[in-house]
């Protein structure tokens, strides 16, 4: 799992592949836009449950969405 301060480029790429904004993803997942934004900049570490919900919303595997 990534440490705070490390940007997850796989996450950014997966969101872009689906053509979503972080705001749209946050609504689909039920996680605040602020937390997703913080995660995308390496300032927050997602929980295992949050990772599962995001992967499901993107219809991709966790391994594809998140770099570890």
Q: In whole angstroms, give the CA distance from residue 31 to residue 20.
A: 15
Q: Is 44 within a domain?
A: yes
Residue 64 has pLDDT above 70, yes or no: yes
| CB of 54 closer than 8 Å to CB of 29 | yes
Residue 2 has pLDDT above 80, yes or no: no
Q: Is 16 within a domain?
A: yes
**What does pTM read for this prediction?**
0.88
Q: In whole angstroms, give the CA distance from residue 68 to residue 21.
A: 22
Residue 55 contacts by C-beta under 8 Å, 6 or more apart in sequence?
Answer: 61, 62, 64, 65, 66
Task: With cut-offs at 50, 70 and 90, classify the pLDDT of residue 68.
Answer: low
Q: In whole angstroms, give the CA distance from residue 11 to residue 65.
A: 5
Q: Is 4 within a domain?
A: no
Number of folded domains that form the chain: 1
Residue 53 domain boundaries: 9-65
pLDDT in tens, 13-61: 999 999 999 999 999 999 999 999 999 888 998 999 999 999 999 999 9
Tokens (6 digits) for 46:
């997602």
| CATH number for the domain that contains residue 55 | 1.10.260.40
Higher pLDDT, 33 or 6: 33
């Amino acid at each position: 799992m990534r440490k705070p301060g490390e940007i997850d480029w796989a996450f950014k790429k997966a969101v872009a592949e689906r053509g979503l904004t972080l705001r749209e993803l946050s609504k689909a997942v039920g996680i605040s836009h602020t937390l997703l934004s913080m995660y995308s900049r390496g300032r927050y570490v997602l929980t295992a449950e949050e990772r599962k919900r995001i992967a499901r919303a993107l219809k991709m595997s966790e391994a594809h969405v998140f770099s570890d």
